[in-house]
Structure 1
Amino acid sequence: MKIVVIGASGDVGRSVADELSRGGNHEIIRVGRTRGDRQVDITSDESVATLFEQIGQTDAIIVAAGNVILAPIDKMTASAFDKGLQDKLLGQVRVALVGQHYLNDGGSITLTSGIAVDDPIAQGAHAAASNAGIEGFVRAAACDLPRGIRINAVSPTVLTESMDRFGPFFPGYESVSAARVAMAYRRSVEGVHSGRVYRVGH
């Protein structure tokens, strides 16, 4: 399969690309904001369209990119909230909406949500809203996608590799390795499900 991994320089995306590279059965195109085989800004319609025009037809699209805003609700503004939505939520939706037209029949899309939708954390209102939007989109889009195209999401808990940065937001949580999370993306790409949310570590 030809697989596009967006966010391939991050903790999750790098592990996903490495996992799917094993065995040599797939061609992996690593995409980042500033690094990788290709670059893309998922907050820009033009940038996403250009990416897929350059890549052409593909078999699977994975998005492990998009930032959330962690901030106290009494400090949050509507403009900041919207900026975050453009990245984490609408950025992933944008890739799905554009990318579907470049998928071969029976292709797949895999997006990324996170534990905050099920288990809210302090300063996590934006994360919860973004993740809930992604999961809702996946479930509904699965009902409409043509040509046997599938769509799923992976929802990991906090990563072991990210505990130095995000550990204070997840006191008492058991982390999971990025390598373990990557297996859920393989399940989405190589499996048969659609409209699923694969939860890892929660």
Structure 2
Amino acid sequence: MKIVLIGGTGTIGKRVAAALAPGNELIIAGRNSGDIQVDIASAASIENMFRELVTVDACICTAGTGYYGDFHTMTQEHMMPGIGNKLLGQVNLVLIGKNYLSEGGSFTLTSGIAAEHPARNGATVAMLNGAVNSFVLAASQELKKDQRINVVSPGLVADSRERYGALFPGYNLAPMDKVANAYVLSVLGAVNGKILKVYA
């Protein structure tokens, strides 16, 4: 299976890559690293990536960021990078990529626990994650050629505890093997239109 993994050098991406590399042709894509470069905030960059790949059997995205900061001083300017990257970037991977995805192929996007359990100062990230979830539910009804789409919604992953733990006090850690398995299920399984939650 030919799989492109956007964000494959990140915290979650590295674990997903390790889980899916055996027996598959895995292509790592990133803005500044990997086998092929793509900036998901740019529709033109996404189109160029898929043209270079010609066709893929699965497209996974573990990339995308959002703003954490004081709600009372938050502005549109704070929100726009995440909207262009984590939200529209992943949406465009599907809107553009569906023309390059093989029959029976799959998309796997990434949201997060904030869609249901927002952290303090995390209104932007909660909004982005919820929007990605809703897009996947709708897109699963529209895709043709037996193409599938799912979204993995991880909690605070164990490998990010030192970096992000202070933002999520009291949250249980999501084991990395369970998070990686959710992506494996989406790619190699038969599920479609699912929000695959891995919160603990």
Calculate the TM-score normalised by the size of structure 2: 0.97
Contact map agreement 2:106 2:148 (CA 8 A) in 1 = yes
Deviations 1:14-34 (A, max 9, x none): 111110013xx2110011111
Out of 99, 118, 121, the position equivalent to 1:120 is 118
1:12: Cα distance to partner? Answer: 0.7
1:122: Cα distance to partner? Answer: 0.4
Q: Which residue of 1 aligns with 2:151?
A: 153
Q: Which residue of 2 aligns with 1:87?
A: 85
Work out the CA distance in 1 between the residues paired with 2:100 and 2:15: 24
Contact map agreement 1:96 1:109 (CA 8 A) in 2 = yes
Further displaced range: 151-160 or 176-185: 176-185
Count of paired positions: 200
Contact map agreement 2:110 2:152 (CA 8 A) in 1 = yes
Work out the CA distance in 1 between the residues paired with 2:177 and 2:8: 13
Write the letter of the residue equivalent to 2:133: E
1:179: Cα distance to partner? Answer: 2.8
Answer yes or no: is 1:19 the counterpart of 2:19: yes
Contact map agreement 2:66 2:81 (CA 8 A) in 1 = no
Write the letter of the residue equivalent to 2:74: M
Q: Which residue of 1 aligns with 2:185?
A: 187
Work out the CA distance in 2 between the residues paired with 1:192 and 1:61: 15
Q: Which residue of 2 aligns with 1:8?
A: 8
Further displaced range: 145-154 or 13-22: 13-22
- Unaligned stretches of 5+ in structure 1? none
Q: Which residue of 1 aligns with 2:32?
A: 34
Work out the CA distance in 2 between the residues paired with 1:169 and 1:189: 30
1:177: Cα distance to partner? Answer: 3.1
After superposition, the CA RMSD in angstroms is: 0.9
1:114: Cα distance to partner? Answer: 0.1
| 2:4 alignment partner, SS class | strand
Write the letter of the residue equivalent to 1:46: A
Identity of aligned residues (%): 42
Write the letter of the residue equivalent to 2:14: R
Contact map agreement 2:46 2:96 (CA 8 A) in 1 = yes
Further displaced range: 168-177 or 152-161: 168-177
Write the letter of the residue equivalent to 1:155: S
Work out the CA distance in 2 between the residues paired with 1:19 and 1:75: 41
| 1:107 alignment partner, SS class | strand
Q: Which residue of 2 aligns with 1:68?
A: 66
1:178: Cα distance to partner? Answer: 2.7
Q: How does 1:95-106 map to 2 (within 5 A)?
A: 95-106=93-104
Q: Which residue of 1 aligns with 2:42?
A: 44
Calculate the TM-score normalised by the size of structure 1: 0.96
Contact map agreement 1:11 1:178 (CA 8 A) in 2 = no
| 1:30 alignment partner, SS class | strand
